[in-house]
Amino acid sequence: MKRQLKILEILDELCTKKLDKNMMQQHKPLGFTAEEVAILAGFSRSNVSSDLNALHREKLVVKLVSRSTYYVTVKWIESLYPALKGKVPEVVRHQRQIEELAANEFSQSGRTGEVSDTTSLKNDNALYDNAQNYDSFDGLIGAQDSLKVAVEQAKASALYPPKGLDTLLVGSTGVGKTLFAEYMYRFACSQGKIAHGGRFIVFNCADYANNPQLLMSQLFGHVRGAFTGADKDKAGLVEKADGGMLFLDEVHRLPPEGQEMLFYLLDRGDFRRMGDTDKIRHVTIRLVAATTENPDSALLKTFLRRIPVVISLPDLSMRPLHERFELIKFLLAREAVHIQSKLIVSQEALWALLLYRCQGNIGQLRNDLQLICAKAFLHRGDKVAPVRLVYEELPPKIKQAIVYDPQARLETSKILCTLGSELFIQPNGTAADEEADRSLPKNFYQTISERMQFLKSQGIGQAEIIQCIEMDFENYFQRLGPEQLEISQEYLQSILPQEFLSVFDLACSLAEKMGKALSRRLYYALAIHIAATVERIRSGLPIVNPNVRSVAEQHPKEYIVAEKMAQCIGEQMGILIPLDEIGFIALMLATFDDRQGREERKVGVLVITHGNSTATSMVDFANKLLGVTHAKAIDMPLEANVDWAIEKAVQVAKEIDQGKGIILLVDMGSLSGVAKALTNRTGIMVKSVEMVSTLMVLHVLHKAILPKNDINIVYRSAWTARSMVQTVVQANNPTDFMNGKDKAILTTCLTGQGAAAKIKGLLEKLLNQWQLFNIRVIAVEAGNQEMLQTRLMSLQHSYDIVASVGSIDPQMEDRPHIAIEELMQGGAGSELRRLLTDGLKASDIADRYTDRGMDWEVMRGMVVGMLDEFLTFVNPRKVMDTLMICIRKLEDELQVEFSSSGLVRMLVHSACMVERLLTNAGISYPETAAFIAEHPLEYSVLKKVSNALEEQFTVNVNDEEICHLIEIIKMERRKNTIEEG
Ligand SMILES: Nc1ncnc2c1ncn2[C@@H]1O[C@H](COP(=O)(O)OP(=O)(O)OP(=O)(O)O)[C@@H](O)[C@H]1O
């Protein structure tokens, strides 16, 4: 118990000293691992780990589950977000979740003000502090899509000197005006535009519309005797909003005299309390008003003249369906927290919720969801069972209001296809589909049949049903791919009967004879699929494929092969495989081949900027660094107009499109319309991001050249990159005072002194060449995870780390890592390549690694080339041969299998080690003895194996060095385990 308390104290101290609020907004792991705490506490990792788990059970510690498990104390979160006192979730999946919950509490707490139900006061420091944690509108659903323009306007109006611009929000009931105003308040606070203590005051003018006197008094205050019942002086909300923000909802209901006073106040900052003839009072407020009135209406004429910024918020029906889906998940997550129960929502219920006509916008959607959840909660038989929301139990007004719009239905189907059969929402407020049933093979047919029946019952036509079902197929096939299921031959043998596999192999050889050889991927997918079919036929369950005829027409060759395969399997297994199933098999044969082709293709990247060589130099840099020529540039002379840019872009887009769309990176401003024009002219899907910079091109290109990424992934990533370079824009803004951090690229290797130092030199040269003088390159020692994380944390305080390059991935979320092998294979300019590929030579070691699919020749050449640069005293070729013998022994004795990257890492590290030992430049390792005691086998094998090196180079491989070598082996083991699944 004593130890637990100590651990808690240490973790709390770590959180308080090393983490700050800003970290919440960064996309990096938050908190500390058991190892980190163990190092400081001086206890073993396993003890600390079990203590942290016990503390977690006692709700004193929160787990943040990302790639590893990180811990922070509940006390620390509560100190940052007082609104979450007693409500901190036990497990957090991502940091945003804490922010969202806090935001939720923040807005909930604002609803009960001290003035009345319809006015709210957010006046304590804690709320202000919360607001300071938000420096953007990112948490607002739609901020980067349907609300993008609105958010940009809001930011501009908040930053306008000296006190921002008064703003009118226009939109129907329930579109989110109040929430939007709250975000404006938070943004202004975070930018220091509202000083500490500045409040967010909400007042709904409609609530007092029938009593103008009371309304004026609430707003401007009164003095004693101002009217009957005014028995003492009272300050109004305007005074309370001094230094803060006043949000006037339904502002068109303000009586004429109120409007006059308000405008006078806005113009001069002066007002009088009602009945006060003596004293003119002065305040500084930011006004955000809101109205549901049409901006053209007479009621608003005066406001529009006097309020400089008008922001329109769209109706729910105008927002994209994927946003509506996000809203539904968000609102349901809130309900799950309220009812403290897990929610399970069926696909059909989601279908209806996405498609029904929701007259009162998000407010109405929220009310409907609350009602549905409340009903389901009450009717739940078993009090500990999750609350289920199913289509049958939705209110008739929802079922009857489902819109018939083929496009929307198709879109909905696409969204739902990314889920399993149900959506799961945890009582801690996280919406997740990862629990969704991924073992589709078993219930694939059932899902299809149910989906078809449902679509039919909704009066949807046959053609549309087929389209929806096709999307299900596509989704199903994607999940069946071996990468997704991590299938291996052994796995297949363990789940499918041998009898079936023999028959299946027979059918495959038949297909091969007919000219349809099956790729490994298709073989696995088809085996699982047909095995499920056989089971289904034997259990007498139907197989329905509405699509069979069109499949036969579209893919005649595959259909014939499928028929033969089905016949063979049917005969051998004594069953009759129906035509509908043949349609499925044919579709798989066709689709997988098509996918194969598609997999090679990449999303295009096109950069257009003003200036004679700006775009070209950014693109050249990124292409060179990644060793590709994929990104293209258009330099736009300053005198050229947008039409010129569009003409050029059309030409280039046609050349570079590979069928997966194009990401357009452009200057801010006039080029923003190019994407739309390009799509209209070429039919290519083009998504554009403004505010391009070299780092952004690098980031986007890195994502785009991975064939597995589609345009949406690359686009999202472009947005992330955009936020990385935000400071550049902020620096251009004279009113901005935010202190932008310097940018840095990290280079990594085990010691920070070998490969990392070398790559640093090369990168610095390249950056210089490209005149990017403001980017620092920092070599870090990444051999020890604990130390690396601590070092990263401190670096992140001082730098905006934009990427890492090297032999060890520091796993910084949303920051690209370029592995050393990637660099060696292609890039970093011809200079780097030349350095790394000299000296190819054959070796007898080759066979072993060639068996593992490595190109040993190339790898050896690269390593020797690299070592040539690193080593002064040791002959790289000589050390290489001895090292290979040692590594072979290590692999055999420790039963570890080095991957190509692991092998390169081990070779480079060990060669540098020999040089270090020769020059007496030793490196340290913390708590060497304890570490060795934990790894006795590795230690003794390494000691034995390194004899050969010691003899040849007359050095003594010391314990510190051995510990570093153990770290590499551990890293490889982890990799082996992950690969084995
Ligand atoms: N972008 C959003 N993301 C998440 N929730 C939202 C969003 N917009 C609105 N909501 C939620 O929808 C509900 C209605 O929003 P809000 O009260 O701000 O609308 P409103 O336009 O001010 O409505 P009214 O005109 O009725 O005052 C609230 O519960 C709010 O939290």
Whose CA is closest to atom 13 on ligand 1? Answer: 363
Which residue owns the Cα nearest ligand 1 atom 29?
A: 363
- Return the residue whose CA atom lies nearest to atom 15 of ligand 1: 176
Q: What is the mean pLDDT of residues 931-956?
A: 89
Most confident of 299-308, 725-734, 971-980: 299-308
Q: Which of 108, 136, 179, 323 to mutate to test ligand 1, by most ligand atoms within 8 A of the CB atom?
A: 179
In angstroms, rounded to a whole number, what is the distance separating the alpha carbons of residues 813 and 27?
6
Q: Does ligand 1 lie within 6 Å of residue 363's CB atom? A: yes
Residues 213, 275: Cα–Cα separation, whole Å: 11
> pLDDT tens digit string along 867-925?
776 677 788 888 888 888 888 888 888 888 887 777 888 888 888 888 888 877 777 78
Ligand 1 centre to CA of 110 (Å) is 13
Ligand 1 in reach of 174 Cβ (< 6 A): yes
Q: Which of 121-135, 323-337, 496-510 has the lowest mean pLDDT?
A: 121-135
pLDDT-derived band at 127, boundaries 50, 70, 90: very low
pLDDT tens readout for residues 769-795: 555 556 788 888 876 777 777 788 778
Q: Assess whether pLDDT exceeds 50 at residue 485.
A: no
Q: Which of the residue ranges 97-101, 419-423, 870-874 would you say has the lowest mean pLDDT?
A: 97-101
Q: How many angstroms separate the alpha carbon of residue 840 from the centre of ligand 1?
A: 65
- Which pLDDT band holds residue 664 (cuts at 50, 70, 90)? very high
Contact 314 CB / ligand 1 (< 6 Å): no
> pLDDT value at position 281?
93
Residue 359 pLDDT: 85
Determine the longest span between alpha carbons in the chain, in angstroms. Answer: 104
**Span 719-732, average pLDDT:** 46
Ligand 1 neighbour 362 (Cβ under 6 A): yes
Of the ranges 434-443, 793-802, 837-846, which is most confident?
793-802
Per-residue pLDDT tens for 504-556? 999 998 888 888 877 776 787 788 778 877 877 887 776 666 666 777 777 78
How remote is the CA of residue 299 from the centroid of ligand 1, in Å? 23
Q: Is the CB of 140 under 6 A from ligand 1?
A: yes
Taking CA atoms only, the protein residue closest to ligand 1 atom 3 is 141
| pLDDT for position 219 | 92
- C-alpha to C-alpha distance for 667 and 728, rounded to whole angstroms: 13
What pLDDT score was predicted for residue 607?
93
- Bridge pairing between strands 343-346 and 422-425: antiparallel
602-658 pLDDT, tens per residue? 899 999 988 888 888 888 877 776 667 889 999 988 788 888 889 999 999 988 888
Residue 181 has what pLDDT? 94
* 728 pLDDT above the threshold of 50: no
The predicted structure's pLDDT at residue 256: 85
Q: Render 250-319 in DSSP notation, one character per residue.
A: TGGGS-HHHHHHHHHHHHHSEE--BT-SS--EE---EEEEEE-S-TTSGGGHHHHHH-SEEEE---GGGS
Pocket test for ligand 1, best of 362, 368, 373 (most atoms within 8 A of CB): 362
**Three-state DSSP state, 781:** strand
Return the top range by mean pLDDT from 101-105, 122-126, 630-634, 763-767. 630-634
The count of other CB atoms within 10 Å of the CB of residue 809 is 15
| Mutational test site, ligand 1, from 106, 118, 178, max ligand atoms within 8 Å of CB | 178
Q: What residues contact 101, with CB distance under 8 A and at least 6 apart?
A: 84, 87, 89, 337, 429
Atom of ligand 1 nearest to the CA of 180: 18
Q: Which residue has the tokens 């922010």?
A: 99
The residue ranking higher by pLDDT, 174 or 210, is 174
173 lines ligand 1 (CB under 6 A): yes
Q: What mean pLDDT do residues 456-476 have?
A: 59
CA 824 from centre of chain: 29
Instruction: Pull the structure tokens for residue 401.
Output: 């209001």
Q: For the chain, give the mean pLDDT.
A: 76
pLDDT over 60 at 829, yes or no:
no
* Per-residue confidence (pLDDT) for residue 348, from 0 to 100: 83
- Ligand 1 atom 14, closest CA: 363
State in Å: Cα 121 to ligand 1 middle. Answer: 18
Residue 842 pLDDT greater than 50, yes or no: no
Task: Supply the pLDDT for residue 353.
Answer: 94
Question: Of 62-66, 591-595, 608-612, 863-867, which gets the smallest average pLDDT?
Answer: 591-595
Cα distances from 196 to residues 132, 183, 244, 801, in angstroms, run: 9, 17, 9, 30
pLDDT at 110: 33
What's the CA-to-centroid distance between 911 and ligand 1, angstroms? Answer: 62
Residue with CA closest to ligand 1 atom 16: 176
- Ligand 1 center to residue 364 CA distance, Å? 9
What pLDDT shows up at residue 594?
A: 47
3-state secondary structure of 636: strand
What 3-state class would DSSP assign to 862? helix
Q: Give the angle 322-328-333 at the CA atoms, nearest 5°.
A: 130
Residue from 673, 796, 636, 668 nearest 732 by CA: 668
Using 50, 70 and 90 to split pLDDT, how confident is the model at 813? Answer: low
Using the predicted structure, report yes or no on whether residue 943 has a pLDDT greater than 50. yes
Query: Does the Cβ of 258 fall within 6 Å of ligand 1?
Result: no
> In which band, very low, low, confident or very high, does the pLDDT at 421 lie, cut at 50, 70 and 90?
low
Closest CA to 221 of 261, 180, 175, 266: 261
Rounded distance from Cα 637 to ligand 1 centre (Å): 45
Give the closest residue (by CA) to ligand 1 atom 31. 179
In this prediction the ipTM stands at 0.96
104 lines ligand 1 (CB under 6 A): no
| pLDDT above 60 for 17 | yes
In this structure, the residue with its CA closest to atom 28 of ligand 1 is 363
Q: What is the pLDDT of residue 746?
A: 86
762 CA distance to ligand 1 centroid (A)? 52
> Is the per-residue pLDDT at 437 higher than 50?
no
Nearest CA to ligand 1 atom 2: 141
**Which residue, judged by its Cα, is nearest atom 23 of ligand 1?**
174
Rounded to whole angstroms, the Cα distance separating 500 from 569 reads 9
Please compute the mean of the pLDDT values over residues 664-684 and round it to a whole number. Answer: 82
**Ligand 1 centroid, distance to 129 Cα (angstroms):** 23
Residue 275 or residue 823, greater confidence: 275
- pLDDT in the model for residue 439: 35
From atom 9 of ligand 1, which residue's Cα is the shortest distance away? 176
Q: How far is the CA of 151 from the centre of ligand 1 (A)?
A: 15
- Cβ(327) – ligand 1 distance below 6 Å: yes
**pLDDT at residue 25, rounded to an integer:** 46
**Phi (first) and psi of residue 149, to 5 degrees:** -65, -45
Q: Could you tell me the pLDDT band of residue 456, with boundaries at 50, 70 and 90?
A: low
According to DSSP H, which parts of 29-122 are helical?
Answer: 34-41, 45-57, 74-80, 95-110
Task: Assess whether the C-beta atom of 176 lies below 6 angstroms from ligand 1.
Answer: yes
Least reliable range by pLDDT among 252-261, 541-550, 626-635, 849-858: 849-858
Which residue has its alpha carbon closest to ligand 1 atom 6? 176
Lowest mean pLDDT among 296-310, 823-837, 853-867: 823-837
- Reported confidence tier of residue 487, pLDDT bands at 50, 70, 90: very low
d(CA 251, ligand 1 centre) in Å: 17
Dihedral of CA 516/517/519/524: which sign? positive
Q: pLDDT value at position 789?
A: 78
The pLDDT, as a whole number, for residue 66 is 60
For 21-36, how does the pLDDT look when each residue is reduced to its tens digit (9 = 90+)? 555 544 456 788 887 7
Q: What percent of the chain has pLDDT over 90?
A: 15
Q: Is the CB of 175 under 6 A from ligand 1?
A: yes
Range 14-26 average pLDDT: 65
pLDDT classification of 814: cutoffs 50, 70, 90:
low
For ligand 1, say whether the CB of 141 is within 6 Å of any of its atoms.
Answer: yes
Which atom number of ligand 1 is nearest to the Cα of residue 249? 27
Q: Which of 744, 747, 750, 773 is nearest to 759 (CA)?
A: 747
Percent of all residues in the chain with a pLDDT value above 70, rounded to a whole number: 73
* Higher-pLDDT residue of 564, 88: 564
Ligand 1, closest atom to CA 313?
21
Ligand 1 centroid to Cα of residue 411, in Å, is 24
